[in-house]
A and B are shown apart, each in its own frame.
Chain A
């Protein structure tokens, strides 16, 4: 009995390096960031305490609201759309391709769709900016070739299309991730349910909707959580492709705070934007975890 108890205590030592370094580096930096958000600071000299002034300023800053609006638009392009499309594609690969054409074909499909995931986002951004360039870019070249000249636009160069172009790119990036997770989820499902429904005469789509999707709730919730968090953090592509522009057409919170930290040198203001973003992410993550628990998803 007592050996067990002392043993449990000994185990604490193993957590010390991780908790200490992580706590200092992440916890400490975040606390310092919150502190800075209550100050006026240019990055040199002494920070000057201004209380809630930065946050008051934030509420009236049009660009701040626009940046969050865009972040929520990215939730559609990076989370909702890829989840929906990914579910369907994963089911098609799992039910039709793997069963009838074997593993080689299904692995080829999975890898091809997954490749965009492994390339660093800034590099993806460079590639797409190149493809989207108005005159010689491949996308407009194809549009002109198939007679859609009027759609051969300056995609990233005008406010009305820049978000749309970025969103298409995001869907291209994200789908592979959702497909891989969902296919692996499907392989743990009990085939019996699906077969029973099939014998009852359910069509493929009915089985997909009524049998497969409910069993995949754990995977779906994890995917929604991770991709939503990623959508709110978008930085690299905006940095290399648009700098938040034209105007503020693609401004996002991450870039907006970076801009204030290192371009306008309003460090306190940048810190307040980052703090709000962190709060939203934390609340969202906790909310989704609670929701999962309520749905009985977390075992």
Chain B
């Protein structure tokens, strides 16, 4: 039973305040948006705040072809998809042993994953760099697919283990009494029930990987192998002279993430809160 309340002025004040705050938060995106369509001449005359009179789309095409953005998009999509797949499979199997199998020493295994999860990439990057050279994987996007696929297992195992530890025991017992092997239990009971959670996890891995920077920066020096995030960081320096071109570059850089987020908003929100409150 919720207590009925009179509205009063307070909610309206809060509403106005928060909407103002939301607009301030969206302002950087808005300002990048209008300036990326603004002809350079108008920018010089009317400044950064004015709306464009002529909406000029030429800067996008120019930036797109100069950095070969299609190629970067493909690279990023390939890396992120493969990482999401590898990460989910590895995390799922490990978490299955911990959360459902309740193997001995599971706290230690989980503790190991969690501690290793806090190790910063800086403390791994040089070894990864020199090892990838030995294995001829340097400047090859498969190097970062393997690295991120395996590294995601830290967070993934932690998340899935806690989800699986609350799995309904009766279901598992019933299957075991029927003589189902662990592999069968996994395939016919746990996997179908956890599919939505695995999708949430895959979505998170996808976006995390898309945004990764340090490891691609070190591992993928050649232009052709760069990801979107990396290409953004290393090419925009060339555009310092023309502010509207920089706005267009920034807009192209964050559009894929924003579109992806708007499509998968619910899924992502579920994942973020799932990770926090186990």
Q: Hey, which bits of chain A sit against chain B, CB under 8 A?
A: 3-4, 7-8, 10-15, 17-19, 21-23, 25-30, 32-33, 36, 43, 89, 92-93, 96-97, 99-101, 105, 108-109, 111-113, 115-116, 118-128, 130-131, 133, 136-138, 141-142, 145, 172, 175-177, 180-181, 184-185, 188, 191, 195, 198-199, 204, 218-219, 222-223, 226, 229, 232-233, 235-236, 239-240, 253-254, 257-258, 261-262, 267, 270-271, 273-275, 277-278, 281-282, 284-286, 289
Instruction: Write the chain B residue with the least CB distance to A221.
Output: B276
Q: Give chain B interface residues in 146-165, CB to chain A under 8 Å.
A: 146-147, 150-151, 153-154, 157
Check A184–B273 contact: CB distance below 8 A: yes
With contacts A25-B151, A184-B273, A236-B233 known, is A109 near B18, CB below 8 A? yes
- Interchain nearest-CB distance for B73 vs A (Å): 13
- Interchain nearest-CB distance for A140 vs B (Å): 9
Chain A residues lying within 8 Å of B147, measured Cβ to Cβ, are 25
Cα–Cα distance between A141 and B31 once the two chains are bound (Å): 12
Chain B residues lying within 8 Å of A176, measured Cβ to Cβ, are 25
With contacts A115-B258, A172-B25, A239-B213 known, is A12 near B124, CB below 8 A? no
Q: Other than A108-B22, A120-B213, A120-B228, give 11 A-B pairs with Cβ distance below 8 A.
A: A7-B176, A8-B101, A15-B97, A15-B103, A18-B93, A27-B116, A99-B11, A130-B32, A138-B49, A239-B233, A282-B115
Check A181–B272 contact: CB distance below 8 A: yes
With contacts A19-B109, A25-B151 known, is A14 near B211, CB below 8 A? no
Cα–Cα distance between A36 and B260 once the two chains are bound (Å): 40
Chain A residues lying within 8 Å of B268, measured Cβ to Cβ, are 118
Check B122–A36 contact: CB distance below 8 A: no
Check A11–B97 contact: CB distance below 8 A: yes
A-B residue pairs, 6 tightest by C-beta: A11-B101, A18-B94, A15-B97, A120-B211, A122-B233, A112-B22
Chain A residues lying within 8 Å of B119, measured Cβ to Cβ, are 26, 30, 278, 281-282
Cα–Cα distance between A132 and B146 once the two chains are bound (Å): 37
- Chain B: interface secondary structure? helix
The one of A8, A100, A258 that contacts B11, using a Cβ cutoff of 8 Å = A100
The one of B97, B118, B233 that contacts A126, using a Cβ cutoff of 8 Å = B233
Let me know if B19 is at the binding interface, CB within 8 A: yes
Chain B residues lying within 8 Å of A282, measured Cβ to Cβ, are 115, 118-119
> How many inter-chain residue pairs (CB < 8 Å) link A and B?
297
Q: Hey, which bits of chain B sit against chain A, CB under 8 A?
A: 2-3, 5, 7, 10-11, 14-15, 17-19, 21-23, 25-26, 28-29, 31-32, 43, 47-49, 90-91, 93-94, 96-98, 100-104, 109, 112-116, 118-131, 146-147, 150-151, 153-154, 157, 176, 181-182, 186, 207, 210-214, 217-218, 228-230, 232-233, 236, 243, 246-247, 249-250, 253-254, 257-258, 260-261, 265, 268-269, 272-273, 276-277
Check A15–B109 contact: CB distance below 8 A: yes
Chain B residues lying within 8 Å of A223, measured Cβ to Cβ, are 276
Check A29–B131 contact: CB distance below 8 A: yes
Cα–Cα distance between A119 and B232 once the two chains are bound (Å): 12
Check A122–B151 contact: CB distance below 8 A: no
Check A118–B120 contact: CB distance below 8 A: no
Check A26–B116 contact: CB distance below 8 A: yes
Check A233–B211 contact: CB distance below 8 A: no
The interface centre, meaning the residue of A120, A122, A125, A289 with most chain B CB atoms within 10 A of its CB, is A120
Check A15–B25 contact: CB distance below 8 A: no
Cα–Cα distance between A141 and B127 once the two chains are bound (Å): 46
The one of A21, A92, A100 that contacts B150, using a Cβ cutoff of 8 Å = A21
- Interchain nearest-CB distance for A299 vs B (Å): 8
- Interchain nearest-CB distance for A146 vs B (Å): 12
Chain B residues lying within 8 Å of A32, measured Cβ to Cβ, are 127, 131
